[in-house]
Amino acid sequence: MHYTNLISRIFEKLSHFAFCPKIQFLINKAYVKLFKIDLEEFDTLQSYPTLDALFTRSLVKMRSFDKNQNVLISPCDGVVMESGVCKNNMAMQIKGKNYGLRDFIHQDLDEHYCFVNFYLSPRDYHRFHAPINLEVKKIELIEGMLLPVNERSLLKNENLFNKNKRVVLECQDDFGNAFYYVAIGALNVGKIQINVESEIVNLKMNKIYEYKKPIKIKKGEEIGCFHMGSTIVILSKNWEYDLKPREKVFFGQQIAKYKE
């Protein structure tokens, strides 16, 4: 077992432990202060019985967003680490560091596809949503390492996205195009929760789920969550993005329009 996986397992146990309410409140308060978390859209500190509950906090009120099918919204809160066009079946994890899509999602993509990488820091909202109406045809859990996915680690490690644990959702959008939605694990993210397949969160092995009748997920609907911060990558066809590297985005924000 790689040491980062071991650290993540230890941290997972600690984060799920419910201390007495007074101690837990102080732990939650320290975490919020350390990472400068804004709880305006969330419940009170006292309502989270564990640190994991605070990590995976849900919005008290659903955010509004453009429901037009020609508009694609951000699937999460985070920072855009990179975005661009897939070339030679490659995408970019960060400037100067490319990785192969065949190893990443077990598919080949042409240059009509674009990629966007969203980094979720410890301060971010850790649930992720559908950026457009999707029909899920296949879900693949790929076991792997739990290396950090922050900027320093992305610059240091070759093919990091292909090494780390991840869940790949192979979907179709409203326009009939294949749409890939990938949740990547990282240090302290031993669990990735996918709502339509509840067992994934506890699995420690590769597994594929295929659906004869695709699972429909509406735009804005919650897909799952990370039990700590990590990365979401979307790979899409015929969408024109308006994003800049290191730009902060929020779930529900318009990030692309469909190219007719």
Question: Which position among 77, 124, 126, 227 bears the catalytic label?
Answer: 77
Residue with tokens 């564990």: 50
Question: Which position among 129, 173, 227, 236 bears the catalytic label?
Answer: 129
Please list, residue by residue across 59-85, b when 16 or more beta carbons sit within 10 angstroms of its beta carbon and e when fewer do: eeeeeebeeeeebbbbbbbbbbbbbee
CA distance 55 to 230: 12
Question: Which position among 8, 15, 230, 236 bears the catalytic label?
Answer: 230
CA distance 138 to 111: 22
CA distance 21 to 6: 28
Q: Tokens representing 157?
A: 């490690």
Contact 53, 240 (CB under 8 A): no
CA distance 169 to 233: 11
Residues 6+ apart with CB under 8 A from 90: 98, 99, 100, 101
Residues 6+ apart with CB under 8 A from 136: 169, 170, 171, 196, 211, 214, 215, 216, 217
Check if 129 is active-site: yes
CA distance 33 to 16: 20
Check if 230 is active-site: yes
CA distance 79 to 57: 19
- The sign one gets for the Cα dihedral 134, 227, 28, 22 is positive
Q: Catalytic residues, which ones?
A: 77, 129, 230
